[in-house]
Chain A
């Protein structure tokens, strides 16, 4: 710890703090453009100048650490001033230089209203220009379908360059030229190849990099902001939903140090146009092979007559990937009251089983714990595709501590170096038996982390693979006091919540594969389940938001609410329940999903015992108390892993393959989005790029 005096207040900060951080600690606000807490220090904007006693010139506070400050002649603590006339004059000078080449196009700039330069010019700008020459003109660059460039506005803070190289791990952005002639570019005018590229829009302190799909759509001050949770992957990233009227205009990240820091993936950020296309806005009933619009009563009556004529063992229910806990709970109660045993939430066929214990299906180490791990093994997962923000965490640990990383599965570019161990379960079995150099790495590590992906579990031998991984975890000491390094990475936002509720087949019930076998069922209830193919001859009730695979197959469609249109609890892959809030209302006659199930239960004569969301939650929390602690992880009992490790089973030879074929098109919302379709076409090489 080091002592220093900031604006007359003596404070004590860690010696590795920069002066800027120390000033923040002391409550003094320091303007900055290039400095960012999560990026390396560049020190090139010079906006953070402060006066240090004894220094002949103002000092860039972001680039000088407290430890480098010299004490006074009699050992007094160093003195830093942030409000002297010298500091103000210095910053005004910097601002004037920055504005020399910055265009005066705030009225037509998308950053207007949320622009750092605009805000700081209010404090340090001068009211007139002394610059009579022409401003610099820079050609706009094409860097992909998501980020619009307006390079005249660039002030060369290089935050975008540092983000792409350090956090995203792709060397796509760089700077050419020097001084005034410096330009940010991808060199060859190709699209950025990162799943996190949208974050440069937030990082850019001016309007040089703005959102292309959102461009000229809205102004920040006319948007209603709702803090919510993302469901595009199983991380549950913290997002802010910006809406105007009934439309979601954009998604922005919120800071959540435990999950997404302040990054979100491109799918999370740009999927909003999918929320307004292909929407189911009224009930439909199939008549003579064709779906026709119907009223809610007609739809319910059709379901009731069909369900009434069907035996309960011929009825099934499948929960999809985007369902909140509330409607899963309502559907479970409804199916229980109907005596239905064939219920399942694992539409991808993963072999996870909640009866084995909660520790066997959650990300026990927690996402923040990835940084603490000193060795990482990825089994059958491609985190870059399955959870890009989590991949950035792994990369962060790798960059800062050179964490050794091993991969069993696909040999793909994960943005960091890793030891490729093998493709299939045999490698894992060898490792668990203590063979191979990476076993030494794992067993020497104090906190080894084993991440098992869905690619290893959505197979016939999934449970055996899980057991082998648990065996390995036990062998290398990954499960112990204060550290549980056995982690399952999910791909569906609804999965852990539904597993927590036990939405899996009861005794003599069928799982997803059994339900989808031809002739197995007569009535199938799909709660937003679109990733499956239902055979002919089944009466399908589809409750969902988008006209996707499930709606096309359905016999009755019940329009529900998307994740921005309802208040719902989602449990992320760590087992952390989080509350998503409603930003807009469902379109047309669509209703919140729990309310649909409540109304349907009345028609079926099995009235569910709640009339409001609050009453539903009361019962939900009474039955599953850990869900009531929003934002808190209920620790899972690692003893379940002991039992799991004892399980055996035959392992097949087939290599692990990630369940995510196309990162941009994993759910009905993303498949309805034109932006996601363009990204997908670009990623698969089907779309010609601008430079060609």
Chain B
């Protein structure tokens, strides 16, 4: 998948579901608000992030069909061809996303600078790129994180994608979705106690 969004997104299918990775598949048919199933789905979700390389042999046909029909499974056939023709591999992040640039840093005629893009490992989800690579993708920096020896501070937390809409989403204290139980309402009346 090419990071700049005006680029070709591959063939559009009439059955394209809403663009959230958890809204299809067996897991999505279960309600994720109920406790036990939420755990099951959370496991499925975690597994989808550690999915084996899409090019593995036993699933080559499946990958081909996915890339042929969908735009959200790593890359489309068009992107794959474009990467094979023009791409130069730059590096890979901790999630397995692969980063490319135009071969030899050749200027893209449409941009005036070199083109940089990412091929996601698994679902195409823009928040999956960690901050270092995000900076490189957006031409904020020219040195990719793999060629830097940046040591994260101990207070820096590992990167997490956007969990909105998933079971891991943030729930404010008091939300029934956080615990499944509404906390005792207080403060709307003052109770009498015999001591006072």
A residues in contact (CB < 8 Å) with B: 245-247, 275-282, 284, 290-292, 546-547, 551-552, 587-588
Q: Which residue of B lies closest to A554 (CB)?
A: B194
Does A276 contact B192, Cβ atoms closer than 8 Å?
Answer: no
Does A279 contact B194, Cβ atoms closer than 8 Å?
Answer: no
Interface of B, helix, strand, loop or mixed by DSSP: loop
Closest chain-B Cβ to A437's Cβ sits at a distance in Å of: 54
Does A278 contact B194, Cβ atoms closer than 8 Å?
Answer: no
Does B192 contact A547, Cβ atoms closer than 8 Å?
Answer: yes
Q: Is B34 in contact with chain A by the CB < 8 A criterion?
A: no
In the complex the two chains form, what is the Cα distance from A246 to B189 in whole Å? 9
Q: Is B154 in contact with chain A by the CB < 8 A criterion?
A: no
The answer, among A281, A290, A291, A551, for a CB contact under 8 Å with B189, is A281
- Residue of A278, A282, A546 most packed against chain B (CB within 10 A): A278
- Residue of B185, B192, B196 most packed against chain A (CB within 10 A): B192
In the complex the two chains form, what is the Cα distance from A280 to B193 in whole Å? 8
9 A-B pairs closest in CB distance? A547-B192, A291-B194, A276-B189, A281-B191, A278-B192, A587-B189, A277-B190, A246-B188, A247-B188
Closest chain-A Cβ to B192's Cβ sits at a distance in Å of: 3
In the complex the two chains form, what is the Cα distance from A452 to B29 in whole Å? 73
The answer, among A276, A284, A546, A588, for a CB contact under 8 Å with B194, is A284
Does A245 contact B192, Cβ atoms closer than 8 Å?
Answer: no
Pick 15 A–B contacts, CB within 8 A, sort by A: A246-B185, A246-B188, A275-B189, A276-B189, A277-B189, A279-B189, A279-B190, A279-B192, A280-B192, A292-B194, A547-B192, A551-B194, A552-B194, A587-B189, A588-B191
B residues in contact (CB < 8 Å) with A: 185, 188-194, 196
In the complex the two chains form, what is the Cα distance from A276 to B189 in whole Å? 4
Closest chain-A Cβ to B183's Cβ sits at a distance in Å of: 14
Closest chain-B Cβ to A63's Cβ sits at a distance in Å of: 48
What residues of A have a CB within 8 angstroms of the CB of B188 in the complex?
245-247, 276, 587
Q: Which residue of A lies closest to B189 (CB)?
A: A276
In the complex the two chains form, what is the Cα distance from A587 to B190 in whole Å? 9
In the complex the two chains form, what is the Cα distance from A275 to B188 in whole Å? 10
Does A546 contact B191, Cβ atoms closer than 8 Å?
Answer: no
Q: Which residue of B lies closest to A586 (CB)?
A: B189
- Residue of B188, B189, B194, B196 most packed against chain A (CB within 10 A): B189
What residues of B have a CB within 8 angstroms of the CB of A280 in the complex?
191-192
Instruction: Kindly count the residue-residue contacts between A and B in the assembled complex, taking CB atoms under 8 Å apart.
Output: 40
Q: Which residue of B lies closest to A291 (CB)?
A: B194
In the complex the two chains form, what is the Cα distance from A247 to B185 in whole Å? 12
What residues of B have a CB within 8 angstroms of the CB of A276 in the complex?
188-190
What residues of A have a CB within 8 angstroms of the CB of B191 in the complex?
279-282, 587-588
In the complex the two chains form, what is the Cα distance from A290 to B188 in whole Å? 27
In the complex the two chains form, what is the Cα distance from A80 to B196 in whole Å? 67
Q: Which residue of B lies closest to A279 (CB)?
A: B189
Does B192 contact A546, Cβ atoms closer than 8 Å?
Answer: yes
In the complex the two chains form, what is the Cα distance from A256 to B66 in whole Å? 72
In the complex the two chains form, what is the Cα distance from A498 to B127 in whole Å? 70
Q: Which residue of B lies closest to A276 (CB)?
A: B189
What residues of A have a CB within 8 angstroms of the CB of B194 in the complex?
284, 290-292, 547, 551-552
- Residue of B190, B191, B193, B196 most packed against chain A (CB within 10 A): B191
- Besides A276-B189, A279-B190, 8 other CB < 8 A contacts? A246-B188, A247-B188, A277-B189, A278-B192, A279-B192, A282-B191, A291-B194, A587-B189
In the complex the two chains form, what is the Cα distance from A587 to B196 in whole Å? 19
What residues of B have a CB within 8 angstroms of the CB of A552 in the complex?
194
Does B190 contact A278, Cβ atoms closer than 8 Å?
Answer: yes
Q: Which residue of A lies closest to B184 (CB)?
A: A588
In the complex the two chains form, what is the Cα distance from A282 to B193 in whole Å? 10
Closest chain-B Cβ to A369's Cβ sits at a distance in Å of: 40
In the complex the two chains form, what is the Cα distance from A546 to B194 in whole Å? 11
Closest chain-B Cβ to A213's Cβ sits at a distance in Å of: 16
What residues of B have a CB within 8 angstroms of the CB of A245 in the complex?
188
In the complex the two chains form, what is the Cα distance from A291 to B194 in whole Å? 6
In the complex the two chains form, what is the Cα distance from A37 to B196 in whole Å? 49
In the complex the two chains form, what is the Cα distance from A246 to B190 in whole Å? 12
What residues of A have a CB within 8 angstroms of the CB of B185 in the complex?
246
What residues of B have a CB within 8 angstroms of the CB of A588 in the complex?
191
Closest chain-B Cβ to A588's Cβ sits at a distance in Å of: 7
What residues of B have a CB within 8 angstroms of the CB of A247 in the complex?
188-189
Does B190 contact A551, Cβ atoms closer than 8 Å?
Answer: no
What residues of A have a CB within 8 angstroms of the CB of B189 in the complex?
246-247, 275-277, 279, 281, 587
Closest chain-B Cβ to A575's Cβ sits at a distance in Å of: 34
What residues of B have a CB within 8 angstroms of the CB of A546 in the complex?
192
Q: Which residue of B lies closest to A245 (CB)?
A: B188
Q: Which residue of B lies closest to A548 (CB)?
A: B192
Closest chain-B Cβ to A389's Cβ sits at a distance in Å of: 28
Q: Which residue of B lies closest to A587 (CB)?
A: B189
In the complex the two chains form, what is the Cα distance from A184 to B191 in whole Å? 41
Closest chain-B Cβ to A56's Cβ sits at a distance in Å of: 60
What residues of A have a CB within 8 angstroms of the CB of B196 in the complex?
547
Closest chain-B Cβ to A145's Cβ sits at a distance in Å of: 20
What residues of B have a CB within 8 angstroms of the CB of A587 in the complex?
188-189, 191
Closest chain-A Cβ to B87's Cβ sits at a distance in Å of: 56
Q: Which residue of B lies closest to A280 (CB)?
A: B192
In the complex the two chains form, what is the Cα distance from A68 to B110 in whole Å? 84
Closest chain-B Cβ to A242's Cβ sits at a distance in Å of: 15
What residues of B have a CB within 8 angstroms of the CB of A284 in the complex?
194
In the complex the two chains form, what is the Cα distance from A424 to B116 in whole Å? 103
Closest chain-B Cβ to A271's Cβ sits at a distance in Å of: 14
Q: Which residue of A lies closest to B194 (CB)?
A: A291
What residues of A have a CB within 8 angstroms of the CB of B192 in the complex?
278-281, 546-547, 551
What residues of B have a CB within 8 angstroms of the CB of A275 in the complex?
189
In the complex the two chains form, what is the Cα distance from A291 to B196 in whole Å? 12
Closest chain-B Cβ to A577's Cβ sits at a distance in Å of: 29
What residues of B have a CB within 8 angstroms of the CB of A277 in the complex?
189-190
What residues of A have a CB within 8 angstroms of the CB of B190 in the complex?
276-279
In the complex the two chains form, what is the Cα distance from A247 to B188 in whole Å? 6
In the complex the two chains form, what is the Cα distance from A278 to B192 in whole Å? 4
In the complex the two chains form, what is the Cα distance from A278 to B194 in whole Å? 10
In the complex the two chains form, what is the Cα distance from A75 to B38 in whole Å? 84
In the complex the two chains form, what is the Cα distance from A327 to B103 in whole Å? 87
Closest chain-B Cβ to A129's Cβ sits at a distance in Å of: 42
Q: Which residue of B lies closest to A290 (CB)?
A: B194
In the complex the two chains form, what is the Cα distance from A451 to B92 in whole Å? 95
In the complex the two chains form, what is the Cα distance from A281 to B185 in whole Å? 13
In the complex the two chains form, what is the Cα distance from A279 to B192 in whole Å? 5
Closest chain-A Cβ to B103's Cβ sits at a distance in Å of: 60
Closest chain-B Cβ to A244's Cβ sits at a distance in Å of: 9
In the complex the two chains form, what is the Cα distance from A246 to B193 in whole Å? 20
In the complex the two chains form, what is the Cα distance from A247 to B186 in whole Å? 11
In the complex the two chains form, what is the Cα distance from A292 to B194 in whole Å? 8
Q: Which residue of B lies closest to A547 (CB)?
A: B192
Q: Which residue of B lies closest to A246 (CB)?
A: B188
Closest chain-B Cβ to A466's Cβ sits at a distance in Å of: 38
In the complex the two chains form, what is the Cα distance from A132 to B189 in whole Å? 49
In the complex the two chains form, what is the Cα distance from A281 to B186 in whole Å? 12
In the complex the two chains form, what is the Cα distance from A278 to B195 in whole Å? 12
Closest chain-A Cβ to B194's Cβ sits at a distance in Å of: 4
What residues of A have a CB within 8 angstroms of the CB of B193 in the complex?
547
What residues of B have a CB within 8 angstroms of the CB of A281 in the complex?
189, 191-192
In the complex the two chains form, what is the Cα distance from A284 to B196 in whole Å? 14
Closest chain-B Cβ to A285's Cβ sits at a distance in Å of: 11
In the complex the two chains form, what is the Cα distance from A247 to B189 in whole Å? 8
In the complex the two chains form, what is the Cα distance from A552 to B191 in whole Å? 14
Q: Which residue of A lies closest to B192 (CB)?
A: A547
What residues of B have a CB within 8 angstroms of the CB of A290 in the complex?
194
Closest chain-B Cβ to A675's Cβ sits at a distance in Å of: 15
Closest chain-A Cβ to B175's Cβ sits at a distance in Å of: 16
In the complex the two chains form, what is the Cα distance from A279 to B187 in whole Å? 12
Q: Which residue of B lies closest to A584 (CB)?
A: B188
In the complex the two chains form, what is the Cα distance from A416 to B194 in whole Å? 45
In the complex the two chains form, what is the Cα distance from A451 to B186 in whole Å? 47
In the complex the two chains form, what is the Cα distance from A279 to B185 in whole Å? 15
In the complex the two chains form, what is the Cα distance from A280 to B194 in whole Å? 10
What residues of B have a CB within 8 angstroms of the CB of A279 in the complex?
189-192
